Amino acid sequence: MNAAKRAMEHRPSEDASTLVRELSTRPMHIRQVDVLGTTLRVAIWPGQRGRTPLLMFNGIGASLELLAPFADALGDIEAIAFDVPGTGGSSLSPIPYRLWMLSMLASRMLNALGYHRVDVLGVSWGGAVAQQFALQNPRRCRRLVLAATSQGFLMRPPKLSVLAKFMTPRRFNDPVFRRAIAGDIYGGKARVQRNLIREFRKTSKRGYLMQQFALLGWTSVPWLPLLRQPTLVLAGDDDPVIPLVNAEWMSKLIRNSRLHVFNDGHLFLISDAVAAGRVVRDFLLEDAT
């Protein structure tokens, strides 16, 4: 009975591994890593030795499959992505968590995988985690990339009609609903390409709620000027979720930063993965010898 149960629990990971390999043109590996009472599903795209690997934090409710086209566009830069607890193939966190706790979890995960220094990229909700990680790990985080994200509750908010559609994971769990609202909430190319996000994995309501709780009341405004990492801020000029002005504010608050704006919406890392990958790659390698 126990053996049958273990087999059933393992099957989703095997299915997910196959799916990512079909989506990604680069060689990649899926691992299960046990950290602080949580089993994390991790994807690694191996890269050239001697170059700093890139740790990627995904958007709220999204599984790591969403980042596969962008990882392909990075070429030979090693990339690491993982499903946040309660999302994709990762187990639920045993307790509610805050962003500083998730940052600590990610650092323990890197230790378990044998990584020391990394560059860090965060997209949307994951951009808040990336900021927190950079603050808590000033020596471990070499460079920082913030994509389609904000500085927390002191941001310029989206319209209530847009925000309301983000309060539940229905946009991940209901493909018909997702296609219907894609243009309104994501903007940019999603206005005409309403199938940009495929249904990779459904997101649990409890896991989604935990991600929302982690961000509740959080803001980076008081300490963004303290960040010393060279930072690239990426934004879309037609982003209903994170209005462009937020990226402009962040790039002014972070001393060693620059801003790059795409003619797109919230999903430019997906809809324009090749161009986004080129911009990020150039930034990460600009001081390589």
* Antiparallel, parallel or unpaired: β 38-45 and 29-35: antiparallel
Q: What is the C-alpha separation between 8 and 156, in angstroms, rounded?
A: 45
Distance of CA 53 to the CA centre of its chain: 15
248: amino acid identity, one letter: E
Residues 30 and 17 sit within 8 Å (Cβ to Cβ): yes
The β-bridge partners of 2 are none
Among 124, 150, 220, 257, the one annotated catalytic:
124
Name the nearest CA neighbour of 227 among 98, 107, 136, 129.
Answer: 136
124 a catalytic residue: yes
Name the nearest CA neighbour of 263 among 245, 275, 246, 248.
Answer: 275
Q: Which residues are catalytic?
A: 124
